[in-house]
Amino acid sequence: MKYVVGIDLGTSAVKVLLVNQLGEVVKEVSKEYPLLHEKSGYSEQEPEVWVTQTIAGLTEVLNGFSDSPEVIEGISFSGQMHGLVLLDENCKVLRNAILWNDTRTTEECQEIYDIVGKEKLLEITKNPALEGFTLPKILWVKKNEPEIFARVRTFVLPKDYLRYRLSGELHMDFSDAAGTLLLNINEKKWSKEILKLLDIPEDICPALVNSHERVGKIIPGIAEATGLSPLTSIIAGGADNACGAIGSGILKEGMTLCSIGTSGVVLSYETAGDKDFDGKVHYFNHGAPDSYYTMGVTLAAGYSLSWFKNVFANGETFEDLVQGVDSVPVGANGLMFTPYVAGERTPYADANIRGSFIGMDTSHERRDFVRAVMEGITFSLNESIAIFRRKGKSIDTVVSTGGGTKNDTWLQMQADVFNARIIKLSSEQGPGMGAAMLAAYGCGWYASLEECAEEFLHTEKEFLPNGKNTEKYEDLFSTYLEIYKNTKELNRKLVKYRK
């Protein structure tokens, strides 16, 4: 039996998966590390902890492995997007990494619009200037830490630095490069125009590779420290959302992913990078060859339900909370919820908006409120799907992952609201599995990622839309869309009274 390793470098932990040729996770290890918050809005990490914890995770995975290390043929990576790692001429880290959830760069985002122009930026990168992206971070360092910027030889993203430390080779794949605001995603080249306009040296941009490319072998020191073979191939890997899509089988037209975690993601496969979504959704290169994906984000998806549980059902299980929801009719007996409890991303990008319950009366019970929260989260996710469809996309199948799969009523609700077939996978490993699949494909196990997905991924349940419910939800969704515009100004007036 042959094996591959998928490494998922997350924001709070690195997950290491050992996967065999059948797609079975033989062993899984997770190692945590801290976030650094020096000031309000700052979010950083020390890159060295990624390396030490990954080595510890690989060592633990190999501990007790009975086969020869040579049968572990490849390692690939998934990683948190947008983070900035600056390296000097010796590839030494110049400062802590600035992460995707760092929000210090509002002025730099405006600077990008002022110099490059919003339309030009969207034309080249397909994405708006948001604080989380890499380019605003580069500009912040250039302006606020000029002595550090003067020593910069190159920049990479978090998983690229980890891969460099394991292989000695420095690259960036297209799916992560697409999240920097410096890549022309259609041409798959660094944008000389943006770099010149913002006075950023072109030579600090690393070499670009495909996510499935072999970029080297594990260096002897890491092999010795972990128990791996020095013959183990290193495969480039991809951004966490791209790998999450691969690990969920989002590999052909019509396939869409709905992932409900703390936030919610709706990600849809694209065959080309030439559609115009006006910057309302993210548009990135996929980790699959010669393809793309569009992505909308609900900022507080599962977080809205966990907030409700903590406030109104503290100490109860999730199963207790949702008990009886299946007996509540579509529309929660006239009660509606908007999940803006932490602001909203798609399609409003509004940090000031907050959630609402609309239509409360004395007849409503707790289960009505729970149903309304679940419906509101699903409506918010459906806003992204509606944007995709308005641009001519056909969305007929949605793979649902995360907290939204824990309850069959919620899965049926997704089928009815999205008006699409919902698939629940039998095993859900997300980005780590996507990284393992890239390793398997990169090592030549399969002729394509689609062929790999057929072997590695299996459907546990399917949910088809109920025509009558879908008709009701279409009407309710039109009402839901009115709430934002009618509460936006009210929330702006309440900002000064918040904690």
Determine the Cα–Cα distance for residues 169 and 467; give it in Å rounded to an integer.
Answer: 54
Active-site positions read 240
Tell me the sheet residues that pair with 28: 17
Contact 10, 25 (CB under 8 A): no
Contact 131, 147 (CB under 8 A): no
Contact 310, 302 (CB under 8 A): no
User: Which among 134, 122, 119 has a CA at the least distance from the CA of 85?
Assistant: 134
Determine the Cα–Cα distance for residues 133 and 105; give it in Å rounded to an integer.
Answer: 9
Cβ–Cβ contacts within 10 Å for residue 486, how many?
10
Contact 335, 373 (CB under 8 A): no
Q: What are 340's two structure tokens? A: 């803006």
β-pairing verdict for 72-79 and 44-45 = unpaired
Contact 440, 244 (CB under 8 A): no
Determine the Cα–Cα distance for residues 33 and 14; give it in Å rounded to an integer.
Answer: 8
Contacts of 110 (CB under 8 A, 6+ apart): 129
CA within 13 Å, CB half, 205: 25
b (16+ CB within 10 A) / e for 200-238: beeebbbebbbbbbbbbbbbeebbeebebeeebbbbbbb
Determine the Cα–Cα distance for residues 421 and 399; give it in Å rounded to an integer.
Answer: 8
Question: CA 41 → CA 22, 35, 105, 360, distances in Å?
Answer: 44, 12, 9, 36
Q: What are 162's two structure tokens? A: 């980890």
Cβ–Cβ contacts within 10 Å for residue 495, how many?
10
Contacts of 112 (CB under 8 A, 6+ apart): 121, 129, 135, 136, 139, 181, 198
User: Which among 97, 121, 2, 116 has a CA at the least distance from the CA of 48?
Assistant: 97
CA quadruple 218, 223, 227, 231: dihedral positive or negative?
A: positive
